[in-house]
Amino acid sequence: MTDSTDLTEDGSTSDNAARILLAEAMLDAIRSVSVDGLGVTRPSYGAAEGAAHGILARFGEETGMVVRTDEALNTWVQLPGTHPDEPMIVTGSHLDSVRNGGNFDGAAGVVAGLLTLRELQRGPALARTVAVVAFRGEESAWFGTCYAGSRALVGHLEADMLASRSPESNLSLGEVMTSAGADMAKIEGQTPLVDVGSIGHFIEVHIEQGPDLLSQGVALGAVTGIRGNRRYSDIRWSGEFGHSGAVPRTLRHDAVLGVSEWIQAIEQEWISEQQAGADLVMTSGILSTDPLRHGVTSIPGAVKTSLDIRSVEHSTLERFDRWVLDTAADIAGRRGLQVDFGTMIETAPAVIASEMVSMIVGVAQGLGQPIVALPSGAGHDAAALASAGVDVGMIFVRNSNGSHNPDEAMETSDLCAAVPLLVGVIRELGQV
């Protein structure tokens, strides 16, 4: 990987062209250890994720920064301040990916943090220590548990999360963490791996995983909050199988019709909630009949579906969830069906203080950078730190073609536009 000292005469990254070259070199190096033919695959606590962390650590060592690894194998690269006892400012993101994912989800924020440290390294010195952290295991795709590394950091990685198993290997998250070399004593005891009070602020840079910035023609966004979710991954509707030509409508217990009515009702209520000003999104991403019993001439007696409800407002999540359950019970009762929602997994919304949003917007405006405020529909490590009481902020970078797919298309120049913004925010926060 090319170090910044190869890019300009004085080793700086102040020249934006040099910054872009360095960002591309780091992102290419991370891609090279995880390319899978379609996109990239960096399983949580797997070898490819570990290799990406090694790239980060080497960069920190080569540029004279302090590098360490905590008990959960999160990697830290630190630039000490003149008052090291003061709460530090942390930036960063994660380095794992979904299977056949894009290279920028998570990694872009880590690279932006490293570029920011290189800018800050040139001075003047800050009072507070500034750190970049690369978290392990942010994606829920591998074990059904998200934010593994950041939850472990703040002591919120619970026993049932550690016991969750990969559907592919049948190994638990705890077993894989142990094999990777994590020190599990504190993690299993839910003891924070750092004094949470020693983190003054956490500012995460991340690609936007939706189309808002792209549609508005703006490269950067100030995140106003991170949507929490209530997720049902295994909802079972049960009715009665029958011959498609022999059972009249009034005597049918058709699971597909029940689910269809329910989903249509949910959409109408979603529209009503939005018209009333609530922040809400919902998705039913799984919808399938029993492959062993379904057929063109069979009345479907069983359907599996899912529901993902998200909002930045806890009250909206609670209200809409209750309405969803009540509506399902009503439809099932009228149609002679049974419905089992299984286990609900909940992630609380993360509050981002309006003062932090205003600071990010103000610094951007001072730099002449257009910026818009918007919520985050996806979850992020910042939510885990917010749940522990850390003041958090987020900066989104424009990205085409969504995320969690090989077609992510962030422009490196957009990512590098986030660096002077992050530098400015950290400098504003970094004085005692």
Q: Is 285 in the same domain as 389?
A: no
From first to last of its 432 residues, the chain has per-residue pLDDT tens of 434 333 333 334 457 899 999 999 999 999 999 999 889 999 999 999 999 999 999 999 999 999 999 999 999 999 999 999 999 999 999 999 999 999 999 999 999 999 999 999 998 999 999 999 999 999 999 998 899 999 999 999 999 999 999 988 999 999 999 999 999 999 999 999 999 999 999 999 999 999 999 999 999 999 999 999 999 999 999 999 999 999 999 999 999 999 999 999 999 999 999 999 999 999 999 999 999 999 999 999 999 999 999 999 999 999 999 999 999 999 999 999 999 999 998 888 988 999 999 999 999 999 999 999 999 988 899 999 999 999 999 999 999 999 999 999 999 999 999 999 999 999 999 876
Q: Is 120 in the same domain as 182?
A: yes
Please check whether residue 367 is in contact with residue 420, taking contact to mean a CB–CB distance below 8 angstroms: yes
Residue 275 confidence (pLDDT)? 97
The count of C-alpha atoms lying within 13 angstroms of the C-alpha of 85, restricted to the half-sphere facing its C-beta, is: 0
Q: φ, ψ for residue 308 (rounded to 5)?
A: -125, 115
Q: Is 217 in the same domain as 239?
A: no
Domain end marker among 297, 322, 347: 347
Find the angle CA(122)-CA(115)-CA(362) to the nearest 5 degrees: 85
Q: Is 310 in the same domain as 363?
A: no
* Amino acid sitting at position 401: N
Residue 6 confidence (pLDDT)? 39
Nearest alpha-carbon partner for 324 in 257, 261, 274, 279:
261
Domain end marker among 289, 315, 347: 347
Residue with tokens 């529209």: 271
Token code pair at residue 303:
């359907």
Q: Is 170 in the same domain as 316?
A: no
H helix or E strand, kind and range, residue 132: strand 130-135
Residue 432 confidence (pLDDT)? 64
Report the domain count for the chain. 2
Token code pair at residue 271:
């529209």
Residue with tokens 């966004």: 221
Residue 56 confidence (pLDDT)? 96
Question: Residue 324, class by beta-carbon neighbours within 10 Å (0-12 exposed, 13-18 middle, 19+ buried)?
Answer: buried
Q: Is 24 in the same domain as 114?
A: yes
DSSP letter string, 304-337: EEEEEEEES-HHHHHHHHHHHHHHHHHHHHHHT-
DSSP 251: G
Q: Is 208 in the same domain as 153?
A: yes
Q: Is 31 in the same domain as 136?
A: yes
Using CA atoms, how far apart are residues 47 and 346, in angstroms rounded to an integer? 29
Query: First vs last Cα of the chain: how many Å apart?
Result: 36
Residues shown for the chain? 432
DSSP 297: T
Residue 7 confidence (pLDDT)? 33
Using CA atoms, how far apart are residues 385 and 151, in angstroms rounded to an integer? 8
Residue 317 confidence (pLDDT)? 97
Q: Is 296 in the same domain as 278?
A: yes
Q: Which range marks the domain in which residue 365 is found?
A: 4-227+349-429
Residue with tokens 């610094």: 363
Using CA atoms, how far apart are residues 125 and 199, in angstroms rounded to an integer? 18
Q: Is 315 in the same domain as 422?
A: no
What CATH number corresponds to the domain at position 263?
3.30.70.360
Q: Is 90 in the same domain as 102?
A: yes
Nearest alpha-carbon partner for 303 in 274, 268, 331, 338:
338
Q: Is 144 in the same domain as 274?
A: no
- The answer to whether the predicted template modeling score (pTM) of the entire model surpasses 0.85 is yes
Residue 431 confidence (pLDDT)? 78
- The three-state secondary structure class of 398 is coil
Domain end marker among 347, 377, 401: 347
What CATH number corresponds to the domain at position 136?
3.40.630.10
Question: For residue 264, what are the CA distances in angstroms to 283, 288, 341?
Answer: 12, 16, 18
Helices then strands (H, E): number in the chain?
13, 17
Residue 9 confidence (pLDDT)? 32
Residue 79 confidence (pLDDT)? 97
Using CA atoms, how far apart are residues 341 and 421, in angstroms rounded to an integer? 44
